[in-house]
Structure 1
Amino acid sequence: MLARLTLWFFIRLALGLACLPVAAQDLIAERAIFEDPYGTLTLGQVRQAEFSVAGNIISQGYTRAALWVRLRVDAPPDAQHLRLRVFPAQLEEVTLYSALLPDEGLRLTGHATWMDALPGPNLYYLRIRTSGPMLLQPLVFSAEQAQQDDSTRGFILGVVLACYAPLLVWLLVLLMTRRQMLHLAFLLNFSVVVASFLGWMGYLSEFFGPVHWASGSTAIFLLGMVNIFTGFLCVCLVLQRFGLPRWGQHVFTVLGILYGVLFLLFFVLDRQRTMQGSSIVGLVASVFGLLLTIAVFYRQKRSTWLIGTLLCVAMVLGLRWFLTLHALVSAVESLVSLLSFRLIFAVGFVSVTLWLIDREKQSQLQTSMMNEAVARKLAESETQRRQTQERFMTMLMHELKTPLAIIQLAATSLGRHLLPDSGDATRVKNINRAVDDLNALVERCASADQIDQGAMHMHKESLCLETLAADVLQTMGTDRITLSAPAQHTVFSDAQYLRLILLNLLSNALKYSPPDSPVTLQFDHTAGAHVAGVSVCISNAVGAAGMPDPAHVFTRYYRAEGARRQVGAGLGLWLAQALARQLGSELQFKADPGRVGFSFFLELA
């Protein structure tokens, strides 16, 4: 839709330029200016002053002086009345003097008036004062030329509105559907731009009347200030789409706050000073925006360089406009074309920019969808791989139970007929120890399978933690484990779950600690979030396997590099964590220099 709107805009613009009427040629043969610093000179005194020749557009910057403009007009032989137009329309005081008018002159209530003329050369004086920038273009036409100029002005107005009206409607639709700040900023800026253009070029005074507040100088000055603020808000939001640095955002924020303060001071302080300050802020913001645009888009891919180029052109046009307001550069073209064609460029700039941003967003969306599809496929493949591995492990463990039982039974029977200290007896003990390790591995795999299938049922009851620990230590059959329990603790938990947790944690500690180092099992009375309980902690020294990775220590099938030399499947810690969560607790891993520990919390009965 936006692409069709952009195409429509360029077709409409081409037709408009092709059918543009020939601009009426004004009758002014010479323009000359004289600046009265204090504004106290009379017409008689000014006539004796030395005037400077001026161009088609007169630009004196911000000044408190009264500007006298001398117009030498060559009236046609049949012309009795001439039409004077003075642009822009927000000039606060414009007084016309001529030999055919009273000495006090004629003060213009609008931007145009009829004046008497004699055939041949006529001399007119304009006395102008304004709070805004002294930027003006006086034009004089005959009656026929005035009609032609009216047609040209009407046609330009039609082209501008024909370009802006559908864009404003489309921005309103985008704002209601997508609700993005960029669309709101463009909508506000373009609304203010159109209103400012209508005010500057006198269309508002022709519609509302020259004395209406909407066409007055105050309203037009305020529209100009809001136009600058919303314009740079649009620039900031466009740059944010392409990686505006944080310091750039801070600078734009400071400039925005400063501009807001100047806007408020417009109502309480001297108007000219506040508007001059606002144009200086706009000048600084244009330079900063141009440099920042180059810096931001230089790092982007080439598909976005067109947006950066258009933004740079917009910044250059804005910079030249502020320089013109301060009379730092000369304005040689018509003021009407200077403003109207910049408005048309703004429409093209925003249409192309929104189209390119939408295209870039669609590209990013397609890339994101492809990445999501690839990630989903990888996740499905990983899930399938894990399921296959788990099914194989489950089948393998079930198939191992019978052979292991036969081996253990045969080794036990053989050991009964051997001397205790013989080498064969030692080898039989090693066989039994290896079978025990394999049986423990099978039990872990079986328990993991039961957890996956939800086949392990929990039955909580009051039980003595020290009694359960003593039974576990007896099952472990080693004197390396030290139990530290200052007092008896009765907890409300599941005995089978606790037994499996302790067995897995203690066997893990015995396996991966130095051979003769002690393993500590400690019970401490503590308080949880809302209830009293006991903290269970198992700690041991770090052995040859090294320190485990804290990020993966509870991951299923995870084994540290140094631990792969020993028997195991990487299920013990994962199984202990899964059981602890079933009990409403959570295993915590703690690593100190040379030692590791695991702890969890149990609620007291």
Structure 2
Amino acid sequence: MWVVTAWALGVALLAAAGLFWPAGPVDHVVARSWALAADDLPADPAAEQPMGEVLSAGYGHETVWVRLRVDPGLTRDRAGEALLLRIRPGYLDDIVVFDPLAGGAPIGPVGDRHPLAAQARPSTVFNLALAPGEQPREIRVRLRSQSTRLAHFEVLREHDLWRADAHSTVWGALYLAALTTLLVWGGAQLLVRRDALAVSFIALQAASLAYGACSLGFLHLFVAPGADVLWIDRLTSVMAITATGAGFAFNALLLREMQMPRWGRWLALGGLLLFPGLLVLQAVGHTVPALRLNMLLVLLGPVVFLLMALASPLGIAGQPVGDAPAARRLGLAYFWLSLLLTVVAALPGLGLVGGGRSSLYIIMLHGVVSGLLMLAMLTYRVYGLLQQRELLAAEAGYNRREVVREKAFRQDREKLLAMLAHELKTPLATVRMLLGTLGLAPQALRSAQAAVADMSGVIERCLQVGQLDDGALRVASQPCDLAELATRVVQAHPAHARMALAVPAAAPVCSDPQLLETVLRNLVDNAAKYSPPDSAVRLDLQAPSGGGVELTVRNTVGPAGRPDPDRVFTKYYRHAQARRWTGSGLGLYLVNGLVQTLGGRLRYVDEGPGVAFALWLPLAADRETVCG
């Protein structure tokens, strides 16, 4: 991975060095000036302003007139060799040259809107042969272009022109190779992790590659001299806007992973929605405002993205800043460098500052350097995500082991409880029989019998819970009367004197009478045990309606307090204040499980001064297939 990245970086740096480093040929232009004019007439010399090495006139519809002072005497030893005007970049629209030695006839036109036949020789840039003559003179260049008015003019001998063209072609090809490498490497990243960010990176590199091929003039080499090349001009403008939009999309998706603030999401969405509008504007012929707005977005976008990154709480791999400071630093470094490169690239293009030859290709450098930064971030991001995946896998393995260990522990505990329950049932039965032969006082006898009953109840619940958890509980459903079962349970309870029962004449249900009686007994025991001794326990059985019947057991809240509604049916749950009473925390868990097994529902209801448990069961007529 790092070998490919280093190769791409090396190719990109070589391409940049080749594009920016002087090619060696002697430029015969000794002075430059320029001015804007509203028509095809030459500009007033008084309105001209000195020009640096590169024309930087921004975007507009006006005609640009450039005056070049040419001195062929700089290469007197090569007198007689043809002089040619070389113009870059290769996506200017319309260029015409006026040489005083040409007898007033214009030379040209050349440009993206004209066939290539006027070119002195095939090239990725524009070149025009000047009139023969070795005396110093001034030539005028008329430039009209909607795509850009950032241009470089140089006058070279024919052999030097060949060398310069070969030089820029080779290094331009290396630049495109670097972009192709980034594109292929982005595809490899997509194979590692398929997500929107990797897809947007590939789209950005593909758009940058297409824009680079157009702007560097490589498409000219594959067009016949007399063919229409207007489509190259339009394609260049379209790809410039598309590449900017793809860059916006990549940055927006990256910031989404960093959890950019809400205002940032709205700004990013608004910015992305502008680009389809720019393409429509360009398609209907308003190329200049579309490209001007595109360049303004190129300039302002990184500022907004940097502010979003500073306000985002996570790093580039979606990691908290405190956990991954390197991810935070890498993300901020990317946005800072992107801002710096963009400002350097956009200001000359907008005509806000002048520039040297490097300003012609700084946008290319921006594309490849930002691509390398993006690739570095994607690589780091994939590394971070793989680390997170490994950590999650380790945690999952640990959790699985814990689940197995907990299951084994629970099974051992259930087996122990079952064994103790079976072993204690016989001794308890013996104790119950012997209590009547000891001659105890009536009150002591009742207390002893209640204690033995409580112990028997705990043992019975342990056995039933074990059967319920193991799925070994067998249900023998049959028609039965819930009102009759409730009356029998209340009458058999030791505290039946303080119980109030309100039931209809009959409440037929389809259920297992033994299990249903266990449910009712546990609910009544629970209400009597945890309510004040002098309070009433109410059982209200509604008349059958709506396909079922509901029995509600109500009691006043006693010293044990109210149960936690979220845990009341949890296994082994007991309120802290209820621990003074005998119990195992299995009663309501068992009751809820039995009710579900019987096809019913059990609800806990907080009624202010009291609590209630509402039991709903289906009518016998609704379960004929079972009770048949």
Match of 1:468 among 485, 495, 499: 485
How far apart are 1:135 and its partner, in Å? 1.9
What is the Cα-based RMSD across aligned positions, in Å?
2.6
Alignment of 1:273-352 (within 5 A): 273-296=289-312, 300=321, 301-304=324-327, 305-352=329-376
**Which residue of 2 is the match for residue 114 of structure 1?**
129
**Which residue of 2 is the match for residue 490 of structure 1?**
508
**Which residue of 2 is the match for residue 406 of structure 1?**
430
How far apart are 1:364 and its partner, in Å? 1.1
**Which residue of 1 is the match for residue 121 of structure 2?**
none
Identify which range, 311-320 or 492-501, moves more after superposition: 311-320
Cα gap change, 1:32/1:483 in structure 2, threshold over 3 Å: closer, same or farther?
Answer: same
State the alpha-carbon separation in 1 of the partners of residues 240 and 13 from structure 2: 28
**Which residue of 1 is the match for residue 534 of structure 2?**
516
**Which residue of 2 is the match for residue 421 of structure 1?**
none
**Number of equivalent positions:** 590
Q: Which amino acid aligns with 2:425?
A: K
Q: Which amino acid aligns with 1:404?
A: L
| 1:162-196 CA distance string (max 9 Å, x none) | 32223322333444664321122111111111111
Cα gap change, 1:485/1:73 in structure 2, threshold over 3 Å: closer, same or farther?
Answer: farther
How far apart are 1:229 and its partner, in Å? 0.5
**Which residue of 2 is the match for residue 64 of structure 1?**
61
How far apart are 1:117 and its partner, in Å? 4.2
Residues 1:507 and 2:525 aligned together = yes
State the alpha-carbon separation in 1 of the partners of residues 611 and 127 from structure 2: 91
- Structure 2 portions without partners, runs of 5+: 112-125, 621-628
Alignment of 1:416-565 (within 5 A): 417=439, 424-477=441-494, 478-486=496-504, 488-525=506-543, 532-565=547-580
Q: Which amino acid aligns with 1:171?
A: G
Contact 1:205 1:212 in 2 (8 A): no
Match of 2:196 among 181, 190, 204: 181
**Which residue of 2 is the match for residue 568 of structure 1?**
583
Residues 1:135 and 2:132 aligned together = no
Match of 2:605 among 557, 565, 590: 590
Match of 2:381 among 341, 344, 357: 357
State the alpha-carbon separation in 1 of the partners of residues 555 and 108 from structure 2: 100
* DSSP-derived class of the 2:560 partner: coil
Residues 1:261 and 2:277 aligned together = yes
Q: TM-score, normalised by structure 1?
A: 0.90
**Which residue of 1 is the match for residue 407 of structure 2?**
383
| 1:405-430 CA distance string (max 9 Å, x none) | 2222222223xx56xxxxx3211211
Cα gap change, 1:534/1:269 in structure 2, threshold over 3 Å: closer, same or farther?
Answer: farther
Contact 2:602 2:613 in 1 (8 A): yes
* DSSP-derived class of the 1:349 partner: helix
* DSSP-derived class of the 1:191 partner: helix
Cα gap change, 1:346/1:139 in structure 2, threshold over 3 Å: closer, same or farther?
Answer: farther
State the alpha-carbon separation in 1 of the partners of residues 80 and 223 from structure 2: 30
| 1:316-371 CA distance string (max 9 Å, x none) | 32243333332233323424542443333134223312211111111211221222
How far apart are 1:603 and its partner, in Å? 1.2
How far apart are 1:276 and its partner, in Å? 2.2
State the alpha-carbon separation in 1 of the partners of residues 132 and 530 from structure 2: 111
Cα gap change, 1:321/1:520 in structure 2, threshold over 3 Å: closer, same or farther?
Answer: farther
Residues 1:252 and 2:268 aligned together = yes
Q: TM-score, normalised by structure 2?
A: 0.87
Identify which range, 463-472 or 375-384, moves more after superposition: 375-384
Contact 2:172 2:216 in 1 (8 A): no
State the alpha-carbon separation in 2 of the partners of residues 335 and 487 from structure 1: 98
State the alpha-carbon separation in 2 of the partners of residues 204 and 80 from structure 1: 29
Contact 1:259 1:281 in 2 (8 A): no
Contact 2:32 2:50 in 1 (8 A): yes
Runs of 4+ in 1 over 4 A off after TM superposition: 11-22, 209-215, 525-528
State the alpha-carbon separation in 2 of the partners of residues 345 and 365 from structure 1: 30
Contact 2:15 2:172 in 1 (8 A): no
Residues 1:82 and 2:83 aligned together = yes
How far apart are 1:18 and its partner, in Å? 8.4
Q: Which amino acid aligns with 2:281?
A: L
Cα gap change, 1:262/1:215 in structure 2, threshold over 3 Å: closer, same or farther?
Answer: closer
Identify which range, 328-337 or 440-449, moves more after superposition: 328-337
Contact 2:107 2:128 in 1 (8 A): no
State the alpha-carbon separation in 2 of the partners of residues 353 and 391 from structure 1: 56
**Which residue of 1 is the match for residue 6 of structure 2?**
7
State the alpha-carbon separation in 2 of the partners of residues 335 and 281 from structure 1: 18
Contact 1:204 1:214 in 2 (8 A): no
| 1:87-136 CA distance string (max 9 Å, x none) | 23332222211113354623433333222242242322111222244322
Contact 1:197 1:339 in 2 (8 A): no
* DSSP-derived class of the 1:116 partner: coil
Cα gap change, 1:322/1:7 in structure 2, threshold over 3 Å: closer, same or farther?
Answer: closer
Q: Which amino acid aligns with 1:480?
A: R
Identify which range, 496-505 or 431-440, moves more after superposition: 496-505
State the alpha-carbon separation in 1 of the partners of residues 266 and 537 from structure 2: 57
How high is the sequence identity, in percent, across the aligned residues? 28
Cα gap change, 1:65/1:17 in structure 2, threshold over 3 Å: closer, same or farther?
Answer: closer
**Which residue of 1 is the match for residue 28 of structure 2?**
27
* DSSP-derived class of the 2:71 partner: strand
How far apart are 1:269 and its partner, in Å? 6.1
Residues 1:202 and 2:201 aligned together = no
* DSSP-derived class of the 1:566 partner: coil
* DSSP-derived class of the 1:138 partner: strand
Residues 1:371 and 2:398 aligned together = no
Cα gap change, 1:280/1:523 in structure 2, threshold over 3 Å: closer, same or farther?
Answer: farther
Contact 1:287 1:319 in 2 (8 A): no
* DSSP-derived class of the 2:130 partner: strand
State the alpha-carbon separation in 1 of the partners of residues 194 and 138 from structure 2: 58
| 1:71-100 CA distance string (max 9 Å, x none) | 112223324422323223332222211113
